[in-house]
Structure 1
Amino acid sequence: MGSQVDEELTVLVTGFQPFRSEYPINPSWEIAKSLPEYLPPRRAKDPNARNAVNIPPVRILVHPEPLRVNYKVVRETVPTFWEETYQDRKIDIVIHIGMAGPRIMYQIESRGHRTGYKARDVDGGHLDELEGKRDEEWVWHGLPDELRTDLNVQDIWERWQQHSSKNLDLRISDDAGRYLCDFIYYSSLATCYKQGKERKVIFLHVPADGSEAVIKQGQEVAVNLIRSIVESEVAKKQQTTEMDVSTKDIMCRSAVCSTCNKTTWWGCGKHIPSVLDSVAEDSRCTCEPKVERDGKMYPPMAKSPN
């Protein structure tokens, strides 16, 4: 992602086909296909955008057809999203949308799971049958059992709330369900992980209600989520640039996270283990995204040395 405000970003969005008889319409696809080609400009007097930042033009590219709720189809399709170009464009961020239950709420998922898929897909296929023996040839051999997005889920959720109607139920979840929703999410995360890319992907669970009113609401929710993700990424890049200058070669020290009021670190990032390894888990910052040092995951840097 470049620093120029006029540099266009591309967000790829996917949805699923129907897969349950009681829900002949899958709202994930109805929402995805209804999205505008470009993210609409923010209203100048938007009262819910106190923390909005200037963002570049955002192209919304929707996968041309709903994905079949089939393990094999998803496994073969997802890697194409993360090739050097997809439909002649470089993809910056991917949002997978899937259907949850009937309750009118919207959830962004923080992690995907490698194993534990017991349910058969819409064609009767089972993941164990598709994968066979999980030896060194297994596509996910050696990968973590859980993978988290590199997007800042907490910051995105806070911005998402600010951009959305106050009566909407917007949540963060850490369990995508171990069915095709979880599977496509982990597949995207794993593809990026194997390629050494930042995992700029998120999963959005939407209500199963296929009525016109709820689909329209879901479209607005998805647009606001896209805006929140891009704002978060731009703000993170700006903060990182500033921090790179202010913390260069400054030895890490303990600090308090301004979001969760727990212990984290501040500084150059080279000495995180020496700062946090002696801090009890229940006293550590729980915010995202995590930082990896020496094979271990640590909380993000504090916003100030306080």
Structure 2
Amino acid sequence: MGDCGIDTVPRGTQQPADPVSPPASQEVTVLVTGYGPFKDNLVNASFLIASSLPSSLTFPTPLAGERASQENSHIPPPREVLIHAHPSPIPVSYAGVQSELPSILEDYASKHGGKRPDLTIHLGIASKRSYYSVETLAHRDGYRIPDIDGLFGYETGERIWKREGLPLTLEPGPAWSVSGGETETTPSPTFEISPYPPDSHFLKMWESFTASKDADLRISNYAGRYLCEFIFYASLALAVQDEKPLSVIFFHVPQRLDDESLEVGREIAVALIKTMVRCWIDEKQTR
């Protein structure tokens, strides 16, 4: 965010009664996906939560309160976030992820002037967890749990990623190239994206945006070596191949289908989106 500073007016010139309008709000775009049914989970809570998200939200930038108390200072415009929840569930299939994910991104870009989403959140359930968690990293190898087609992740994942020279693990971070490390990215005209793996600071920010103060939110470093971790790696890998910031999160939710739990999940997902914007864009942290 740029600092407009304090307007200076020559002596003897009367200031206008109305303050100068702040610049237009800066939009951040977010793509959200959820998974479909598998095993005994005939309805997947992750897709229900993803599809219930608002199409947009607005919240103040970090400096808005500080500048509001400074006479003649421009208040930074609120942050506008546009949320695109993919309208159909992702199949719990290794081949399905590898075919659908690039198509989803290409379709999104075709409808948004060639621009891909700034941030991506993939949702999935962790049936044995009663808490909400964001994952810090994804593994390339070891997807040996059969999917809904009865297949493993080697042929459509590990073998291809090894051939492309991708590393054993990927995590949120700056843009980089398989051939040459970090890349010189062209910054957005309005903001830069500086992703990093979720940490204690990220968690505290997430908690601060969550209205349900008794909600159990955690950072996890084990995504399960199934389709949840697979799509996380696949999405990060696509960012590497496109030399874009690895601004991707995987969000695990409990498999709770009652209305109250789904509403809590929705609220926590919105808080997570705000956290990604605040930590990865507004704060512009360099890690």
The two structures have a TM-score, normalised by structure 2, of: 0.72
Which amino acid counterpart does residue 109 of structure 2 have in structure 1?
Y
**Residue from 148, 169, 172 that aligns with 1:146:** 169
Give the whole-Å Cα distance in 2 for the aligned partners of 1:54 and 1:231: 14
The answer on 1:173 being equivalent to 2:220 is yes
The answer on 1:77 being equivalent to 2:124 is no
**Residue from 147, 166, 175 that aligns with 1:121:** 147
SS of structure 2 residue aligned to 1:24:
coil
If you compute each CA radius of gyration, which structure gives the higher value, 1 or 2? 2
The number of residue pairs the alignment matches comes to 225
Map of 1:59 onto structure 2:
82
Give the whole-Å Cα distance in 1 for the aligned partners of 2:157 and 2:244: 24
Give the whole-Å Cα distance in 2 for the aligned partners of 1:98 and 1:110: 15
CA gap 1:131/1:58 in 2 versus in 1, 3 angstroms: closer
Answer yes or no: is the 8 Å Cα contact 1:111–1:147 preserved in 2: yes
Map of 1:270 onto structure 2:
none
Map of 2:281 onto structure 1:
234
Deviations along 1:62-120, one digit per CA (max 9) or x if unpaired, are: 11100010011101122234449535123100000000024431000011110011111
1:207 CA drift (Å): 0.2
Which amino acid counterpart does residue 30 of structure 2 have in structure 1?
V
1:205 CA drift (Å): 0.1
Give the whole-Å Cα distance in 2 for the aligned partners of 1:40 and 1:116: 40
Answer yes or no: is the 8 Å Cα contact 1:55–1:230 preserved in 2: no
Answer yes or no: is the 8 Å Cα contact 1:82–1:191 preserved in 2: no
Answer yes or no: is the 8 Å Cα contact 2:25–2:77 preserved in 1: no
1:41 CA drift (Å): 4.0
Which amino acid counterpart does residue 32 of structure 2 have in structure 1?
V
Give the whole-Å Cα distance in 2 for the aligned partners of 1:193 and 1:216: 34
Q: Which runs of 5+ in 1 are unaligned?
A: 43-52, 241-299, 301-306
The answer on 1:15 being equivalent to 2:34 is yes
Give the whole-Å Cα distance in 1 for the aligned partners of 2:2 and 2:85: 22
The answer on 1:218 being equivalent to 2:241 is no
Q: Which has the higher contact order (CA 8 A, sep 6+)?
A: 2
Give the whole-Å Cα distance in 1 for the aligned partners of 2:253 and 2:279: 21
Q: Which runs of 5+ in 2 are unaligned?
A: 4-22, 61-75, 174-194
Give the whole-Å Cα distance in 1 for the aligned partners of 2:168 and 2:32: 25
Which amino acid counterpart does residue 215 of structure 2 have in structure 1?
L
1:20 CA drift (Å): 2.2
Give the whole-Å Cα distance in 2 for the aligned partners of 1:131 and 1:111: 16
Answer yes or no: is the 8 Å Cα contact 1:82–1:192 preserved in 2: no
Give the whole-Å Cα distance in 2 for the aligned partners of 1:163 and 1:32: 18
Answer yes or no: is the 8 Å Cα contact 1:80–1:86 preserved in 2: no
Give the whole-Å Cα distance in 2 for the aligned partners of 1:99 and 1:145: 24
Map of 1:201 onto structure 2:
248
Map of 1:252 onto structure 2:
none
SS of structure 2 residue aligned to 1:10:
strand
